[in-house]
Structure 1
Amino acid sequence: MPLWPVYTGTRTPHDGIDELPPPPPWRAFDGGPALALPAEADDAFAGSPDRAHRAETYRATEETVQLVNAALYLRRPLLVTGPPGTGKSSLAYAVARELRLGPVLRWNITSRSTLHDGLYQYDPLSRLYAARRVLSTAGRSSRAGAGRTGNEGVENHLRLGPLGTALLPHTRPRTLLIDEIDKSDLDLPNDLLNVLEEGQYEIPELVRAARDTPVAQVLADGTDARVPVERGRVRCRAFPFVVLTSNGEREFPPAFLRRCVTLRLRQPDDEQLAGIVRAHLGEPDEQARRLIERFLSRVGGGDLATDQLLNAIYLARASDLGAESLDELAERLMPYLGLGPQTDVF
C-alpha cells in the first residue's frame, strides 16, 4: 500500500519519498537520461547552518502536513500564502530535509524577474570573445583547428537557473522554492503555467547547436557540476516539489490557482508560539511568556512577525538588564527587528 503521509512533519529524515504511488496519468513525465540527486543530497545543508536550523525547528500543523502530501501525490506546485514570519519559505527546507531531497533550489522573485531568468542564463558576449580568441590562436598556430574548440561551445556560456535545474530528469524530485511570487511582474504567473504544466522547456541556443553537439554538458544551478541536455530539450522525470510563497499582496489569475494546491498559513496562537520558542530557544521562562502575551496583544494589527518575538526573547536571555529595562527594550525592538530580509523561522 502507498505511504500516507509521505511528509510527516516529525522532522526525522527518512526515505518515504520512494513510497509515493505512480503519478496521475495526466501528470506522468518520462524525461531522460535519468539523473541521480546531487552527491551532497545526504548533507543538503552543509555550509548553511541558518537553513539547517530552520529546517530542523520547523513545526508543521496538521493542515500543512495534509496539503504538502496532496501536492506531492498530485505532482502539483504548492502555493503558500500568509503574513511575513509564518514559515512559508522554511516549509520548503523542512520538507527537503525530512524527505532527503537534496539542496533546495531557490529563486527569489523581484518585479524584474522573468521566466527566462528561472530557466537559464546565456552570455552571448563571453561566447563571442571566446570565439575571437580561438580564431586568433588559429591564425598564429597551424596546429589549431578551425572547428569548435575549448570555450567556443555554446554550453560553456550557459548555466541553468533554479527552475531549469529543478526540471531536469532526476529520479527523485528536487525541491524548488519560488519565493515571493506576489512581487513579480503581472505576466510571470501566467508564463509559469505552461512550464509547470508540461514539466519541460527548450533552450533555443542548444537546439540550434544540436546538429554539431547533440548532447551538451551544461552547468546546473548552485553547483559546478555539469549535466547532459539532449538536443536542447529538458523534460522532468520526477516532478519537483515546488513551493511558491506569497505575502498576499496581490491576486493571482484563476488559471494559475487551479494548477496549484493552496495552503494558507495563519499567525500562531499562544500554544504554538510557546512551541516555536521551545524549538528555537528552549523552554519559555517567565520573561518569554510575558513577551509572548505582549506579542499576541499586538500581532492582530499585522505589524509584527514571529521572528521579531524570537529576537526579543533571545536578547532578553542573553543580556543582564533588569526586567523594567528589558520590557522597554523589547517594546522598541518588536516593531522593527527581524532576523533578516523576509526571513521565516516558524
Structure 2
Amino acid sequence: MRFEGTSAYVATDDLRVAVNAAATLRRPLLVKGEPGTGKTVLAAEIAQAFDAPLIEWNVKSTTKAQQGLYEYDAVSRLRDSQLGDARVHDIANYIRRGKMWEAFTSPKLPVLLIDEIDKADIEFPNDLLTELDRMEFDVYETGERVKANVRPIVIITSNNEKELPDAFLRRCFFHYIKFPDRETMERIVRVHYPDIQKTLVAEALNIFFDMREVPGMKKKPSTSELLDWLKLLMHEDLPVDVLRNRDTKSLIPPLHGALLKNEADVMLFERLAFMNRRAGANG
C-alpha cells in the first residue's frame, strides 16, 4: 500500500513520503501546520486510499488519555444495583470502549486519527506512550488485556498550541505541512472547483496572497477560507473586474467576511485603505 493522494486531496511529494514512511514503520504520524491546511482531512483521505475504516478521536481541553482506552461507569452500576438490575453482576456491562480500543480490535487495518492533541493537558501525550508503543493495554476492572489485531495507522494532528514532550516526539514520524505555494493552491482550487474561471482564480489568488503578506495581521486567511471565499464569489457571480480593480477604495475585498475573521484585521485593512486614499489625495 502506498499513499499517492486522492482525487479530492492534493498531496505534495514530501507529504506523500511522510505518510508512506509512517505507514511502513507503523509509527504514529504527527502532522503540524497552520489551521486550515488539511491536517484533519488527511486522515480521511489516507483511509480512503487504503480502503481502511477511519476511527476519529477528537481531543478537547478536558479529554483524558484514559478515555481513549476505556471508561468504567461506576455511577450507572451503582444505580442499577439499587434498582436490582441483574446486569450489575457482570462488571463488563459498565466498561465503555474508547477509540483506541475500537482501533485495536478492528477486524480490518484501521486509520486512527487523534485530532488536535495539543488541546489537551500537557500530560496527555505521555499518558499514551506505553499504549502507542506496545499497542496493548489492560482493563483492570475485568483483568482483560486488549491487544491490537493489527498495528493501526495512527495520524496525530497538532496546531502547535503547546509543545509536546520529547519522549512522545521520539515515538512519532513528524511532518510539517507547509502553507501551499501559488501553484499548489491552484491545484487545490481545481480539485474543489473544476469548472471555475481561470481569470477568477488568478485575481482571487493575487488578493489572497497579498492579504497574507500584510504585516500585523492577527489571523492570516487559510486554504479552507480561500475555498469558502471562492464559493461565495461564484455564487454571487461577481464580475472579475471587481477583483481586478485594485484602487485605493478596494483594499478590503468583496465578501471579506470569509477571509477576515476578527475585527482587528478588518480595522487594519480599513486603516490601510484610509491611508492610501489620503496619500492619493495629497499626491
Matched, 1:9 2:29: no
Change (3 A) 1:120 1:321: same
Q: 1:151 & 1:322 partners in 2: Cα distance?
A: 68
Residue aligning to 1:58: 9
Residue aligning to 2:28: 77
**C-alpha contact (below 8 Å) 1:304/1:334 kept by paired residues:** yes
Residue aligning to 1:160: 97
Residue aligning to 1:95: 46
Change (3 A) 1:283 1:266: farther
Q: 2:48 & 2:203 partners in 1: Cα distance?
A: 33
Q: 1:325 & 1:108 partners in 2: Cα distance?
A: 41
**C-alpha contact (below 8 Å) 1:121/1:161 kept by paired residues:** yes
TM-score by length of 2: 0.81
Matched, 1:317 2:217: no
Q: 1:83 & 1:90 partners in 2: Cα distance?
A: 13
CA deviations over 1:73-121 (Å, ceiling 9, x no partner): 111100000001111111100110111111x211111222111111112
Matches within 5 A, 1:243-262: 243-262=155-174
Q: Which has the higher contact order (CA 8 A, sep 6+)?
A: 1
Q: Which runs of 4+ in 1 moved over 3 A?
A: 149-152, 320-328
Offset of residue 150 of structure 1? 4.1
Change (3 A) 1:10 1:303: closer
- Which of 279, 291, 294 is matched with 2:204 structurally? 291
**C-alpha contact (below 8 Å) 1:199/1:236 kept by paired residues:** yes
**C-alpha contact (below 8 Å) 1:190/1:253 kept by paired residues:** yes
SS in 2 for 1:69: helix
Structure 2 gap segments, 5+ residues each: 244-249, 263-283
Q: 1:78 & 1:117 partners in 2: Cα distance?
A: 21
Compare 75-84 and 60-69 and name the one that shifted more.
60-69
Q: 1:271 & 1:284 partners in 2: Cα distance?
A: 16
**C-alpha contact (below 8 Å) 1:80/1:265 kept by paired residues:** yes
- The one-letter amino acid of 2:70's match is Y
CA deviations over 1:139-198 (Å, ceiling 9, x no partner): xxxxxxxxxx44642222222111221122x45421111111111111011111111011
Structure 1 gap segments, 5+ residues each: 1-5, 12-55, 136-148, 208-231, 338-346
Aligned positions, number: 249
Q: 2:128 & 2:116 partners in 1: Cα distance?
A: 14
Q: 2:123 & 2:184 partners in 1: Cα distance?
A: 37
SS in 2 for 1:264: strand
**C-alpha contact (below 8 Å) 1:202/1:234 kept by paired residues:** yes
Q: 2:131 & 2:87 partners in 1: Cα distance?
A: 32
Matched, 1:183 2:119: yes
Offset of residue 58 of structure 1? 1.2
Matches within 5 A, 1:110-259: 110-134=60-84, 149-150=86-87, 152-168=89-105, 170-207=106-143, 232-259=144-171
Q: CA RMSD in A?
A: 2.1
Residue aligning to 1:25: none
- Which of 333, 338, 345 is matched with 2:258 structurally? 333
Identity %: 34
TM-score by length of 1: 0.67
**Structure with the higher fraction of residues in helix conformation:** 2
Matched, 1:303 2:220: yes
Q: 2:67 & 2:113 partners in 1: Cα distance?
A: 14
Offset of residue 122 of structure 1? 2.3
Q: 2:58 & 2:49 partners in 1: Cα distance?
A: 23
